[in-house]
Amino acid sequence: MSLTRVQFFSISLDGFGTGEGQTLEAPFGHAGERLHEWMFATRQWRGPDQPGGSGGVDDLFVKQHDQGIGAEIMGANKFGPRGWHEDPEWKGWWGPNPPFHTPTFILTHHAHPPIEMEGGTTFHFIDATPAEALKTAREAAGGKDVRIGGGATVIRDFLAAGLIDHMHIVVVPILLGRGVRLWDGLEGLENDYQIEAISSPSGVTHVTFTRTGA
């Protein structure tokens, strides 16, 4: 069964999934890298040829990144800074071999030919509702799961449409004060999910949402 999953999407304690003022130099705006330092510190992120790195619960979650995933859907702001569609050279933030390794669908109103990258990632650009995008991504996923990669607005839209089966949110103990909120307009979400929380010695708290039977 192909599930729709959100994986370690990081938010601040005050609920922002990204800061204000995204630019080419600052993909997360004034948040900088502070939402993701916990991730950079894991063994999995650092790679097997690097010494050190934490091997606890943070690492276990990061190790799930590619497991069983056959496609990703992301918002246009995750793919590039405002105006990227006018730059014919822009191929995302991630260099020649992006960390997706699957068909990856970018939600955008701007038509754009697909971009084939190294390592199995192909970027497709689609103008679609969450349900339509999911149908397209699921067909491309070959029976595997579909990752909803963010940003906050995209995850919120998929939640509001009732399309997320499993979600893993990482609450980072910082207060961003401004940016894009994840939780707006989702009153009562807990009624549809089993929710667990586990704090890590790194300071973050992992909150998992597993959809219960309807």
Identify any residues that bridge with 124 across adjacent strands, giving them in sequence order: 105
Identify any residues that bridge with 171 across adjacent strands, giving them in sequence order: 11, 205
Minimum CB distance to a second copy, residue 38 (Å)? 12
The contacts of residue 171 (CB under 8 Å, 6+ apart) are: 10, 11, 12, 13, 204, 205, 206, 207
The contacts of residue 82 (CB under 8 Å, 6+ apart) are: 22
Q: Which of 2, 6, 37 is nearest to 151 (CA)?
A: 6
Minimum CB distance to a second copy, residue 213 (Å)? 19
Query: The dihedral of CA 168, 173, 179, 182: what is its sign?
Result: positive
Closest to a second copy by CB, 13 vs 60, is 13
Closest to a second copy by CB, 13 vs 24, is 13
Closest to a second copy by CB, 33 vs 116, is 33
Minimum CB distance to a second copy, residue 199 (Å)? 4
Closest to a second copy by CB, 43 vs 181, is 181
Residues that bind a second copy (CB under 8 A): 13-15, 171, 173-178, 183-190, 195-199, 203-205, 207
Question: H or E stretch including 164?
Answer: none
Minimum CB distance to a second copy, residue 109 (Å)? 28
Closest to a second copy by CB, 96 vs 173, is 173
